[in-house]
């Protein structure tokens, strides 16, 4: 793993969740409010709780075991488990979980995609196959 990737992992780990929530709420103003957020890169888990403007209940989403699998020509995102507290969203997530989704090759973002693929690559071969 490169120095740059290790540095980014450290930054992700040390960034306070409250700062992420604050910045996200500035961006989402008038659309939604991010209520809670937790991202564990080592465990490959993410949790998001969001309140859509005009809705009375929050939406919660849990993602587990996500990796980027790369070969010489392409990158694919795999999210092994995804669930929500909403039935309609669970149905949608069930259609994407466990499948490989090709990440489009965008020449202007090639360096960033390479860095992200290194950051989220499977650390052991079982993660790709689960």
Predicted pLDDT of residue 128: 54
Q: State the residue range of the domain holding 108.
A: 3-129
Tell me: the pLDDT tens digits for 25-64?
999 999 999 999 999 998 999 999 999 999 999 999 999 9
pLDDT at 1: 67
Q: Which contacts (CB < 8 Å, 24+ apart) does range 69-78 have?
A: 69/100, 69/121, 69/122, 69/128, 70/117, 70/121, 74/102, 74/103, 74/105, 75/102, 75/103, 75/113, 75/117, 76/100, 76/101, 76/102, 76/103, 77/101, 77/103, 77/120, 78/128
In this predicted structure, what is the pLDDT of residue 124? 64
Q: What is the pLDDT confidence band of residue 105, given thresholds at 50, 70 and 90?
A: confident
The number of distinct structural domains making up the chain is 1
Instruction: Report if pTM > 0.85.
Output: no
């Amino acid at each position: 793993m490169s120095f740059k990737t290790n540095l980014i992992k450290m930054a992700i780990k040390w960034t306070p969740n409250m700062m992420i929530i604050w910045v996200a709420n500035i961006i989402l103003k008038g659309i939604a409010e991010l209520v809670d957020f937790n991202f564990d890169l080592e465990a490959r888990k993410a949790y998001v709780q969001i309140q859509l403007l005009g809705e009375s209940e929050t939406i919660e989403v849990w993602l587990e075991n996500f990796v980027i699998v790369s070969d010489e020509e392409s990158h694919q995102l795999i999210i092994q488990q995804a669930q929500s507290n909403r039935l309609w969203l669970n149905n949608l997530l069930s259609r994407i979980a466990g499948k490989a989704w090709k990440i489009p090759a965008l020449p202007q973002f090639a360096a960033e995609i390479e860095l992200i693929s290194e950051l989220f690559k499977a650390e052991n071969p079982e993660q790709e196959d689960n």
